[in-house]
Structure 1
């Protein structure tokens, strides 16, 4: 079903009532109800009526186990599983639990649609893509800072940064050879969403270093397995990843990369905490994730612009 630009929406925009700052800890009832409609459409459109009951049962069993509860809602034993899932979306107080439900359903639906044995029609696959787009639109519409991308819910701190930096980085890391860095960067966002900030910093640095190691490996540059980000960046510069006449121009960027992602991680997450527990601010972690994405885009695009490696024919 299309998203309509209703009179009430236009009126709110004109009155300046549309949220321009994202929230993360609460999901309004209106959005919860819209998520229920999306869930119903996905289950019926992708799985069909004959499988709908088993899909809701699967969601209930998996998430009850993960949450450590008997049912998703207090009176779950008295209602059918489909109503249990929908009631959980509408009523659970923890916003992360709502995100758990929609993320698990979408991942399950995408895997189901990919399996040719299930004979999911092209129309149904297209509808699933549409529903994901609608979900992401509804998040933005309500000022809730999340998006479903690359088979997981990720947190968005700036729509501009997300569109211009994070998404291009994920797209570039989807290329063959960069799977490890891709998974590490997504893991950083997963940790960030669940407020595991130290783990997010560690995964961000790993993604940055893995990206450079892949490039160096393909190009045959000499690096060591335990090289730090500083040495890896230097290897790229020494081997002409950036044109030599841009050397001075990129020196500031190199300093930022060497002194940014690695240093934040090393200072905040890489050493013992001593007697005082160190708290990492969420905005510092968000900055690091965005800087990591920008660095990945720069390095991979520069790598792609290099002449292909010439291989000698067998003698």
Structure 2
């Protein structure tokens, strides 16, 4: 379904009533209703009426088990599963539960579409892509800071940074060989969405280090399994990952990387807390995730620009 720029939307923008700062803890009713419409379209286009009941039954069963509840909503035992799922989207006060429903449906649908045995048509796959695009547009339209990307819901703190830094990093890490770093970076965002900030920092650093280790392994550079980020960055410099005439410029960037992602993690998440529990501000974690993504983009693109090594397979 296309998104229309209606008169009421334009009027709200002119009146300054459109949110320009993202929220994360609440989902307005208007957005919830739009999510229900999108869910209906996805189930209809990808599964059809003959499978729709089993899809809603699957969502209800999996999420009830994960949440530790008998049903998704009160009085769920008196409802059809489709009604139960839709009521949960409209009524559950916890935004995370609504996002759980959306994420599980999209993950299940994408797996269904990938399985050749299901013979999902190109038209249906294109429809799914449009539904995901509409969902992300609706989040943005309502100022709710989430997006479905990389087969999971991730939190967005800046639309510009997300588009120009995070997405390119995920796209580069989707290349063959970087699967581990890709999963670790997505895990960092998953922890961040659930406010597990220390775990997010740990996974971000692991993704950064894994990226360099993949590059070093393919190129045959000498590194040790337990090398820290500092040593891994130095190995890249020593092996000419960046042209020599970038030396003066890159020395500052190296200091930023070595003094940024790794040391933030080491200071905030890598050591014992002592008697006082340390709280990490979410904006510090967001900064670290963005900086990690920028570093990954730089390293992978620089690696891709290198002449082919003798021991490197043709791509």
Partner of 2:139: 139
* Aligned counterpart, 1:162: 162
Aligned equivalent of 2:214: 214
SS of corresponding position for 1:210? helix
Q: Which runs of 5+ in 2 are unaligned?
A: none
Q: Which residue of 1 is the match for residue 41 of structure 2?
A: 41
> Which residue of the partner structure matches residue 93 of structure 2?
93
Q: Distance in 1 between matches of 2:149 and 2:253?
A: 29
**In 1, Cα distance between equivalents of 2:119 and 2:307:** 43
Deviation at 1:231, TM superposition (A): 0.2
SS where residue 251 of structure 1 aligns? helix
Instruction: State the partner residue of 2:234.
Output: 234
Measured in 2, the distance between the counterparts of 1:109 and 1:123 equals: 14
In the TM superposition, residue 14 of structure 1 has moved relative to its aligned partner by: 1.4
Cross-structure match for 2:113:
113
Shift of 1:15: 1.4
Q: Distance in 2 between matches of 1:190 and 1:310?
A: 38
Q: Give the 3-state SS of the residue equivalent to 1:43 in structure 2.
A: helix
Q: CA deviation at 1:120?
A: 1.2
Residues 53 and 82 in structure 2, CA contact (< 8 A), matched pair in contact too: yes
Instruction: Compute the displacement of 1:17 (Å).
Output: 1.4
Q: Structure 2 CA distance, aligned partners of 1:236 and 1:218? A: 12
Deviations for 1:24-67, whole angstroms, at most 9, x for unmatched residues? 00000000000000001111110010100000000000000011
The 3-state SS of whatever aligns with 2:147 is strand
SS at the partner of 1:74? Answer: coil
- Alpha-carbon distance between aligned partners in 1 of 2:109 and 2:220, rounded to the nearest angstrom: 41
Aligned to 1:173: 173
Segments of 5+ residues of structure 1 without an aligned counterpart are: none
Residues 211-260 of structure 1, C-alpha deviations (whole Å, 9 max, x = no match): 00001111111100000000000000111111111111110100000010
Residues 220 and 311 in structure 2, CA contact (< 8 A), matched pair in contact too: no
Q: Does 1:18 align with 2:15?
A: no
Q: How big is the shift at 1:119?
A: 1.3
Query: By how many angstroms is 1:187 displaced?
Result: 0.3
Distance 1:311 1:173, change over 3 A: closer
Say if 2:261 and 2:288, in contact at 8 Å, map to a contact too. Answer: yes
Aligned counterparts of 1:92 and 1:227: Cα–Cα separation in 2 = 46
**TM-score, normalising length: structure 2:** 0.98
Shift of 1:310: 2.5
Q: Distance in 2 between matches of 1:128 and 1:105?
A: 11
Instruction: Provide the TM-score with structure 1 as the length reference.
Output: 0.98
Partner of 1:244: 244
> What is the rounded CA distance, in whole Å, between the counterparts of 1:174 and 1:203 in structure 2?
17
Whether 1:196 and 2:203 are equivalent positions in the alignment is: no
Cα distance in 2, alignment partners of residues 224 and 124 from structure 1: 47
Return the offset for 1:123: 1.0
CA RMSD of aligned residues (A): 0.9
Structure 2 counterpart of 1:280 = 280
Post-superposition shift, 1:311? Answer: 4.8
SS class of match (1:285):
helix
Runs of 4+ in 1 over 2 A off after TM superposition: none
* Pairs aligned (count): 312
1:269 matched to which residue of 2? 269
CA distance in 2, matches of 1:181, 1:121: 32
